Amino acid sequence: MSSHYEAPIRKPLIEGDKSYHDITVDIARPIETPPNKDWWIAFSIALMAFLWGVGCIAYTIGTGIGAWGLNKTVGWAWDITNFVWWVGIGHAGTLISAVLLLFRQKWRMGINRSAEAMTIFSVIQAGLFPIIHMGRPWLAYWMFPIPNQFGSLWVNFNSPLLWDIFAISTYLTVSLVFWWTGLLPDFAMIRDRAVKPFQKKIYSLISFGWTGRAKDWQRFEEVSLVLAGLATPLVLSVHTIVSMDFATSVIPGWHTTIFPPYFVAGAIFSGFAMVQTLLIIMRKVSRLESYITLQHIELMNIIIMITGSIVGCAYITELFIAWYSGVEYEQFAFLNRATGPYWWAYFFMMTCNVVSPQIMWFKKLRTSIIVSFVISIVVNIGMWFERFVIIVTSLHRDFLPSSWTMFSPTFIDIGIFIGSIGFFFVLFLLYARSFPVIAQAEVKSILKSSGENYKKLRDNHE
């Protein structure tokens, strides 16, 4: 027992009187029982939204990008807003699984699996938008440096858009193998419990024949640690490069050196909000309150508060630097952002992202599930507006007043966005019924140090 000591001041991360077998049973339950009516209702809604999105995408590809509300002045709008929003959401998954692993934070173990799933599903949504935006998505492979017959016309490695291709593809694939490697022991657990032959076959296939030999575990832990070490700078680089799509341009409002850290903080902020939204529902529906505890929710709220404040600092720094730079174009861009025709978007961004997370300073509010849920939704809306503000307000008043205009989305723009949310939830709902949603092998390894029953046992001995 001595090797499992943890300071009594730390709150338990696994509530109730759980044994190793109880953890197995609790985590296998959602997979082994048929989904209830609520799941089917949620799934049908998500599927309908997804299909609506597919229709809108088909229409866009059939008629061209003119189906969107873009015009000569505002050439980037909802598409890129959605792209950055989804990529940002993805970042929390890697942060939870990689950065918190390096910092040896045990509380990540209750939430890392779902957060990583969210990463992968949201990066898929993100990837959709630039590909549709190409207009001819069947030529998407032209983005890769493939020897070709066009006079050997290569891609431009000076372009941040190309950096993005490499960053996002690396991020998606590395996150996927990180997730899957962690899943092997848990799939094996489901496989060894399965009674239905078909289920057994599927889980045998996807668990890659994992058996849990001592040497395998040794390698497994080393691989997880090194992957975490690689994924940590990777996740920072991905949103840095996304921000460079804007920061390396010469457009006032985009051309700012603060963008990389500011975007990364914003990404973590919005990602944690999305994890919060998903897990508050999932812990209730899948009866996982013992593993995703109020302590987890509170810690996530604290991160939301901190990153929200960093983002707030960045907003204010931007305003200050615009004034301090003495560049009139910069000054106009930021003044116009806050007081111009899109003032309401700026106002939404400021209240949702800077003001709303500040209520987490109060212990009573950050330990309330309802408040956490509401704030997480508010933050997600706010972060969408942040990207919209950066992209559209910087473009709609360009250097020639004769081309000044406004952007209004068509129903196709809205449809594709709703479709991507639908697609995300279709994937997540399927995941919640077929994957072990908590890294049970890892949770078992902290049961003796952080389980409520074991902590009580130790307290009584002292």
Span near other proteins by CB under 8 A; candidates 20-28, 38-46, 120-128, 389-397: 20-28
Within 235-294, which residues bind other proteins (CB under 8 A)?
237, 241, 244
Shortest spacing between CB 302 and other proteins, in angstroms: 28
71 near other proteins, judged by CB under 8 A = no
Q: How far apart are the first and last CA of the chain?
A: 13
CA pseudo-torsion sign 419, 423, 426, 428: negative
Closer by beta carbon to other proteins, 200 or else 418: 200
User: Of the ranges 91-99, 114-122, 135-143, 172-180, which one interacts with other proteins (CB under 8 A)?
Assistant: 172-180
Q: Which is nearer to other proteins, 204 or 317 (CB)?
A: 204
d(CA 371, CA 366) in angstroms, rounded, equals: 7
Least distance to other proteins from the beta carbon of 61, Å?
29
Shortest Cβ distance from residue 207 to other proteins (Å)? 7
Kindly tell me which of 42 and 120 has the beta carbon lying closer to other proteins.
120
- φ, ψ (nearest 5 deg) of residue 329: -65, -45
Does the footprint of other proteins cover residue 27 (CB under 8 A)? Answer: no
The amino acid sitting at 153 is L
Q: What are phi and psi of 211, to 5 degrees?
A: -125, -15
Coil, helix or strand at residue 32: helix
- Interface with other proteins includes 162 (CB under 8 A)? yes
CA distance 267 to 87: 8
Residue 323 lies near other proteins (rule: CB under 8 A): no
Q: Which residues contact 394 (CB under 8 A, 6 or more apart)?
A: 246, 251, 252, 253, 254, 333, 337
Binder to other proteins among 64, 135, 233, 341 (CB under 8 A)?
233
66 binds other proteins per the rule CB under 8 A: no
At position 1, the amino acid (one-letter code) is M
* Least distance CB 450 / other proteins (angstroms): 14
- The tokens for 366 are 């950050």
Stretch of residues binding other proteins (CB under 8 A), selected from 56-64, 100-108, 164-172, 328-336: 164-172
In the complex, the smallest distance separating the C-beta of residue 230 from other proteins, rounded to whole angstroms, is 5
* Rg from Cα positions in the chain: 23
Q: Considering the complex, what minimum distance in angstroms separates the CB of residue 232 from other proteins?
A: 10
Question: Is 154 an interacting residue with respect to other proteins (CB under 8 A)?
Answer: yes
**Which span (84-92, 132-140, 178-186, 334-342) binds other proteins, by CB under 8 A?**
178-186
- Evaluate whether 337 touches 393 at the Cβ level (below 8 Å): yes
Smallest separation, CB 218 to other proteins (Å): 5
Q: How far is the CB of 148 from other proteins (least distance, A)?
A: 11
The contact pattern for other proteins, residues 121-150, with x = CB under 8 A and - = no contact, is ------------------------x-----
Q: Smaller CB distance to other proteins: residue 45 or 251?
A: 251
**Interface segment toward other proteins; rule CB under 8 A; list 8-16, 157-165, 380-388, 429-437:** 157-165
C-alpha 407/C-alpha 13 separation (Å) is 48
Task: Find the binder of other proteins among 191, 239, 366, 387 (CB under 8 A).
Answer: 191
Q: Which is nearer to other proteins, 40 or 217 (CB)?
A: 217
Helix 328-339 and helix 343-350: axis angle, to 10°? Answer: 80
For the stretch 353-357, contacts whose Cβ atoms lie closer than 8 Å and that sit 24 or more positions apart, written own/partner, are 353/266, 353/269, 353/308, 353/311, 353/312, 353/315, 353/379, 353/382, 353/383, 353/386, 354/308, 354/309, 354/311, 354/312, 354/315, 356/308, 356/382, 357/269, 357/304, 357/305, 357/308, 357/309
Phi, psi torsion values for 14, nearest 5 degrees: -125, 115
**Does residue 102 interact with other proteins by CB under 8 A?**
no
Rounded Cα distance between 343 and 322, Å, is: 17
Distance CA 270, CA 285 (A): 23
Closest CA to 398 of 329, 319, 323: 329
* Binders in 411-450 for other proteins, by CB under 8 A: 440-442, 444-445, 448
State yes or no: residue 218 binds other proteins (CB under 8 A).
Answer: yes
Enumerate residues 324-363 that contact other proteins by CB under 8 A: none
Q: Tokens representing 226?
A: 């090194």
Which residues lie near other proteins (CB under 8 A)? Answer: 1, 3-4, 19-21, 24, 145, 152-158, 160, 162-163, 166-167, 169-170, 173-174, 177-178, 181, 184-185, 188-189, 191-193, 204-223, 226-227, 230-231, 233-234, 237, 241, 244, 440-442, 444-445, 448
